[in-house]
Amino acid sequence: MYNCLRRLGVTTADLEDATHDVFLVLHRLLPTYDPSRPLRPWLMGITARVAANHRRKVGRRREDADEAPEERVAPGRNAEQLAQAGEERAMVQRVLDELDETQRTVLVLHEVEGHSMPDLARELAVPVNTLYSRLRLARARFITLVQRSQQTGGRP
């Protein structure tokens, strides 16, 4: 959940608060949970709404890419590879920051977190075809921003 909140645009300084808020909302809404439905998409819907609320609350404050979570050193990876991975992660985060909130949410929850579109539609209360449209637009915008970032040396 922590990483999902980060990818949904919650800043490093606010990750603990946002995670806490997810659990508060979860506790408050638990009596309304329908156990015949999967828990994970329901939790991701709560997470997406908490992330959106936190982004609105803190405004457009940005943090440096070097505040990304520490990289675990994998066997066989050298410092250059770790630096490259850090730069790529920072660029992806900057590109995600440029996406519209609705596009970012569907892109992260579907492509990164692996949630199915019907589950997302149900939990976000959005028609599934609308989500597919947002996903298509998000993918296209993401690709455009990555290409622009590569041409300009790191900025989308």
pLDDT in tens, 98-129: 888 889 989 998 998 888 999 889 888 899 99
Distance from C-alpha of 94 to C-alpha of 114, rounded to nearest angstrom: 21
Among the listed ranges 69-73, 75-79, 98-102, 111-115, which one has the minimum average pLDDT value?
A: 69-73
Domain 2-152 in CATH 1.10.10.10 = yes
Distance from C-alpha of 50 to C-alpha of 25, rounded to nearest angstrom: 8
Q: What percent of the chain has pLDDT above 70?
A: 84
If one compares 33 and 68, the residue with the highest pLDDT of the two is 33
- Burial class of residue 9 in the structure, from the number of CB atoms within 10 Å of its CB (0-12 exposed, 13-18 middle, 19+ buried): buried
**Tokens 């999967």 — which residue?**
38
Q: What percent of the chain has pLDDT above 90?
A: 26
CA distances from 155 to 13, 61, 123 (A): 22, 17, 34
**Residue-wise DSSP of 20-77:** HHHHHHHHHHGGG--TTS-HHHHHHHHHHHHHHHHHHHHTT----GGGSPPPP--TT-
Q: Highest mean pLDDT: which of 18-32, 34-48, 92-106?
A: 18-32
Q: What is the CA radius of gyration of the chain?
A: 17
Distance from C-alpha of 9 to C-alpha of 56, rounded to nearest angstrom: 10
Predicted pLDDT at 71: 46
Q: Where do the structural domains in the chain lie, given as residue ranges?
A: 2-152
The H or E element that residue 138 is part of is helix 128-152
| DSSP secondary structure code for residue 99 in this structure | S
| DSSP secondary structure code for residue 108 in this structure | I
